Structure 1
Amino acid sequence: MSTETLPYQKPTLLQRFSSVCTAIVQRYLPDPFLFAAILTFVVFLIAMPVTQQSPMQMVDAFSGGFWKLLTFAMQMALVVVTGHAMASAPVFRRGLSYLAMTAKTPGHAILIVTVVSAIACWINWGFGLVVGAIFARELAAKVKGVDYRLLIASAYTGFLFWHAGLSGSVPLAIASGSNLEAVTSGAVTSPIPTSETLFSSMNLIIVLAMLVVIPLLNRSMHPAADQVVSISPDLLQDDKEEEEVDKSKLTPAERLEQSPWVNRLLALLGFTYIVSYFSDNGFALNLNIVNFIFLFTAILLHGTPKRLLKAVAEGTKNTAGILLQFPFYAGIMGMMVAKGPEGVSLAGAMSDMFVSISNEYTFPLFTFISAGIVNFFVPSGGGQWAVQAPIMMPAGAELGVPAAKTAMAIAWGDAWTNMIQPFWALPALSIAGLNAKDIMGFCIISLFASGTIIGLGLLIF
């Protein structure tokens, strides 16, 4: 990347503030792995006096949770690999390139990537994370003068919308009714339909307000022309022109590697299942079906096994952070939920503190804030629900707060602090080739703005 040398332009107040945040983050935010390590030490030291557990008990809690995200880590690694493989196919890239050409200015590029990512994350968070980052790369290659860091940060701000959308784990959990009474300590005994959560007037108004404010905010943060950090379009081209192959000199095995029929038959098999899945389940996206779609689309679009394997090999290079860090966050979660002799966990103590200062009107707001804090240490929607539902749902019921509103306050809090938690940014950063410190300064501004909108929505409606 490089900083453009252009005539000086006086920055706006928001540009100056975002520049200060970016400079602070660049100086003090450690590598995401070190960030996870520091969180591990912090939780270890705080949890002992709060839960009255010994150091050895905390070690046991850490090790007991360490491998509990293995399935999820593999799914997230495949999101990166299969998403990269699909996006690097010539046909898909040309489609993204055509869409990117609709952006004529840096400001327009920031707007469109934010909106596309937000809508994609609302549909499915795994799909949105990959598509947003890939589209941002394509915009960087097409729009001259756009800040690459802000493009990727804007794509990541779309992740604010995921828990209020179709793949939100909390609203879907209470709609399914599975083990609901036990999870909520008896506060909720029957399923709550999505018409009262995802499609409630409160949630839709918050989503629409964010969909207007966040893209405009991101555009307003774009640095002045003399401060733009750009990237050479050549560095964004993953695939190079392949040399013509003389098929008469190929061995039988090499001919098979170059045969399009292998990919076509595999794609037929895969898409037959995909059609069957949606026919049986409706538009119910999860990580497995998203990865399945990405993979078999890549198989079809790359044409031959050799081209597919090359694309997968390139995408695999971007998974190192996920494979290393996810087990540590699982260990942190283990320590957060470990209960001491009095039945108190650190996550539970945090939630209880906010309950103690709440009343009927402020409870949804404090639930949102407490969920945001817990999410910083337990960056998992399902984990968040398991930790807070037994505390917040009964407390809300006692105060007379509708269960659907309490649940959505937890869901919004879980999404909110992802803006300063690099855990979920890893797939996007891997695709972009950036570090967390490159984008988190901009994300801090989005954190403040989104927190204000969500907090007001929970208080007013």
Structure 2
Amino acid sequence: MLNTAARPFVKLVERFLPDPFIFVLILTAIVLVCAVVFQQQPVLTALNQWGDGFWGLLGFSMQMLLVLVSGHMLASTRVVKAALDKIATTARTPGKAIILITLVSMLASWLNWGFGLVVGALFAKALARRVDVDYRLLVASAYSGFLVWHGGLAGSVPLTIATPGHFTVEQIGVIGTGETLFSAMNLTLLGILLVVLPLVNRAMLPKQSESVIVDKTALKEAPVDTSEAQRPAEKLEKSPLLAMLIGFAGIAYLINYFVGGGTLNLNIINFLFLFLAMVLHGTPERLLSSLQQAIQGTTGIVLQFPFYAGIMAVMVESGLARDLSQWLISFATVDTLALWSFISAGLVNMFVPSGGGQWAVQAPVILPAAMELGTDVSKVAMAVAWGDAWTNLVQPFWALPVLAIAGLKAKDMMGFCLVQLIITGLIISTVLLTF
């Protein structure tokens, strides 16, 4: 039944969904028009807001790129790839392949979103080399695991409010991850999705005659360079001495950092992944080779993130984001504020696809509402986090690295993602209303 229901969505998306870059250009035009029409911003003012904000996220963009690149470098180590190949051998049917890749990508994304995106894409290729399964659904299932990232260890909102000195600390204080990431609500939601999402993806599996099977020769890994070093410079590049020395120095720093009471943040995640990758690759040459592969998956982010920064600037400076959030939560009561916060976050995420950036936009609106109504602030914060993660299923921005590694276009898999969006939205909403 679900396979039949998914068909029109798949065909619709394949026909009408443009390239993600076209998507961001359309969003830019919509936001500028809305700022002028609904917020009565003069045209030049709206343009200045857009242009001034265009480069406003360069530091954050570099941080996000490093998450993706360091995650890719770690996921492409021989140890991780061998583990993925070993796990792939257990999937002997298309149905098992779909269930397995969903579970693996969910677990990896819970650990770290960049790691999850890359592991999911690489695992999809490993499975497709062994099983004749619809490649579009396989990659969509890999991407669907990304849904849980904001409820995981690298979630921007829960990590932000757990950090001393965060920008809303005077309003809500410091809220530890025990009340957010490891709360009963969040763990229950993760458990339900861990069971339901693989089954949803399995139920969408097309018949073999309707499946798109990828050419397995196109998925072969590039041969590893086993030639011996000739020049002194090559000997340094192929020598494990430097990689191990500096790699273990980085790991020693991390051990001392955590022993001293340090907590997880994006910089520490990047540091951890980078130095683990350095140790596991074993030589500077192999590390740099994985870096070159990783960079190929970041080109869309490099081009599009400034446009999203401009959109975000107009949304914030013109008051669009504030008014949109206020309108949505105006229907709220003490029991439904979390639900409306979730829905508003999902909508705002289409224009501001950054967990941290979105929290900066919505916190000034949602937190006073939560305190006035007497709603649990930690629950509302997690509702925003899940709303941000939820609509990533159909926001093509974060699918770019997965698509680049897998060799697909957004329209190839977004039809399946739309079905995932509907079903998981109902599940998340139900949990938010229950707790």
TM-score (norm 2): 0.92
Whether 1:375 and 2:349 are equivalent positions in the alignment is yes
Counterpart CA distance in 1 for 2:299 and 2:322 is 32
Deviation at 1:445, TM superposition (A): 0.8
Report the 3-state secondary structure (helix = DSSP H, G, I; strand = E; otherwise coil) of the residue aligned with 2:41: coil
In structure 2, give the amino acid aligned to 1:110.
I
Whether 1:62 and 2:41 are equivalent positions in the alignment is no
Change (3 A) 1:268 1:376: same
Counterpart CA distance in 2 for 1:303 and 1:136 is 25
Is the 8 Å Cα contact of residues 88 and 238 (structure 1) preserved in structure 2? no
Deviation at 1:390, TM superposition (A): 1.4
Q: Residue in 2 aligned with 1:257?
A: 237
Q: Residue in 2 aligned with 1:409?
A: 383
Q: Residue in 2 aligned with 1:10?
A: none
In structure 1, give the amino acid aligned to 2:292.
A
Change (3 A) 1:428 1:288: farther
Q: Residue in 2 aligned with 1:34?
A: 22
Counterpart CA distance in 1 for 2:183 and 2:58 is 35
Is the 8 Å Cα contact of residues 76 and 322 (structure 1) preserved in structure 2? no
Is the 8 Å Cα contact of residues 22 and 441 (structure 1) preserved in structure 2? yes
Name which of 119, 129, 152 aligns with 1:131: 119
Task: Tell which deviates more after alignment, 258-267 or 153-162.
Answer: 258-267
Is the 8 Å Cα contact of residues 80 and 431 (structure 1) preserved in structure 2? no
Report the 3-state secondary structure (helix = DSSP H, G, I; strand = E; otherwise coil) of the residue aligned with 1:27: helix
Whether 1:309 and 2:296 are equivalent positions in the alignment is no
Counterpart CA distance in 2 for 1:195 and 1:295 is 27
In structure 2, give the amino acid aligned to 1:326.
F
In structure 2, give the amino acid aligned to 1:410.
V
Whether 1:24 and 2:7 are equivalent positions in the alignment is no
Report the 3-state secondary structure (helix = DSSP H, G, I; strand = E; otherwise coil) of the residue aligned with 2:419: helix
Q: Residue in 2 aligned with 1:294?
A: 273
Whether 1:422 and 2:396 are equivalent positions in the alignment is yes
Task: Tell which deviates more after alignment, 226-235 or 348-357.
Answer: 226-235
Whether 1:215 and 2:198 are equivalent positions in the alignment is yes
Name which of 24, 36, 39 aligns with 1:51: 39
Aligned length: 435
Task: Tell which deviates more after alignment, 85-94 or 445-454.
Answer: 85-94
In structure 2, give the amino acid aligned to 1:107.
G
Change (3 A) 1:440 1:71: same
Structure 2 regions of 5+ residues with no counterpart? none
Change (3 A) 1:331 1:315: same
Q: Residue in 2 aligned with 1:98?
A: 86
Root-mean-square deviation over aligned CA pairs = 2.2
Counterpart CA distance in 1 for 2:36 and 2:142 is 38
Q: Within 5 Å, which residues of 2 pair with 1:233-272?
A: 233-242=216-225, 244-245=227-228, 250-272=230-252
In structure 1, give the amino acid aligned to 2:165.
S
In structure 1, give the amino acid aligned to 2:65.
A
Q: Residue in 2 aligned with 1:445?
A: 419
Change (3 A) 1:118 1:398: same
Change (3 A) 1:31 1:362: same
In structure 2, give the amino acid aligned to 1:166.
L
Name which of 336, 350, 361 aligns with 2:335: 361
Counterpart CA distance in 2 for 1:194 and 1:54 is 43
Whether 1:158 and 2:165 are equivalent positions in the alignment is no
Report the 3-state secondary structure (helix = DSSP H, G, I; strand = E; otherwise coil) of the residue aligned with 1:424: helix
In structure 2, give the amino acid aligned to 1:38.
I
Change (3 A) 1:131 1:66: same
Name which of 182, 187, 191 aligns with 1:199: 182
Q: Residue in 2 aligned with 1:172?
A: 159
Q: Within 5 Å, which residues of 2 pair with 1:3-18?
A: 13-18=1-6
Change (3 A) 1:393 1:134: same
Counterpart CA distance in 2 for 1:289 and 1:232 is 39
Q: Residue in 2 aligned with 1:335?
A: 314
Change (3 A) 1:422 1:281: farther
Whether 1:224 and 2:215 are equivalent positions in the alignment is no
Counterpart CA distance in 2 for 1:429 and 1:278 is 35
Change (3 A) 1:402 1:313: closer
Q: Residue in 2 aligned with 1:274?
A: 254
Counterpart CA distance in 2 for 1:219 and 1:70 is 39
Q: Residue in 2 aligned with 1:351?
A: 325
Deviation at 1:179, TM superposition (A): 4.3
Counterpart CA distance in 1 for 2:173 and 2:348 is 26
Report the 3-state secondary structure (helix = DSSP H, G, I; strand = E; otherwise coil) of the residue aligned with 1:158: helix
Give 1 or 2 for the bigger CA radius of gyration.
1
Task: Tell which deviates more after alignment, 27-36 or 189-198.
Answer: 189-198
Q: Residue in 2 aligned with 1:4?
A: none
What are the superposed Cα offsets for residues 37-79 of structure 1, whole Å, 9 maximum, x if unpaired? 1100000001122222111111111122211222232233334
Report the 3-state secondary structure (helix = DSSP H, G, I; strand = E; otherwise coil) of the residue aligned with 1:115: helix
Counterpart CA distance in 1 for 2:8 and 2:393 is 17
Is the 8 Å Cα contact of residues 126 and 287 (structure 1) preserved in structure 2? no
Deviation at 1:319, TM superposition (A): 1.9
Is the 8 Å Cα contact of residues 9 and 416 (structure 2) preserved in structure 1? yes
Change (3 A) 1:176 1:76: closer
Counterpart CA distance in 2 for 1:71 and 1:103 is 41
Task: Tell which deviates more after alignment, 50-59 or 250-259.
Answer: 250-259
Counterpart CA distance in 2 for 1:108 and 1:72 is 38
In structure 1, give the amino acid aligned to 2:279.
L
Report the 3-state secondary structure (helix = DSSP H, G, I; strand = E; otherwise coil) of the residue aligned with 2:397: coil
Name which of 77, 80, 83 aligns with 2:65: 77
Is the 8 Å Cα contact of residues 159 and 264 (structure 2) preserved in structure 1? no
Counterpart CA distance in 2 for 1:29 and 1:374 is 20
Structure 1 regions of 5+ residues with no counterpart? 1-12, 340-344
In structure 1, give the amino acid aligned to 2:350.
F
Deviation at 1:220, TM superposition (A): 0.8
TM-score (norm 1): 0.88
Counterpart CA distance in 2 for 1:360 and 1:255 is 66
Aligned-residue identity in percent: 51
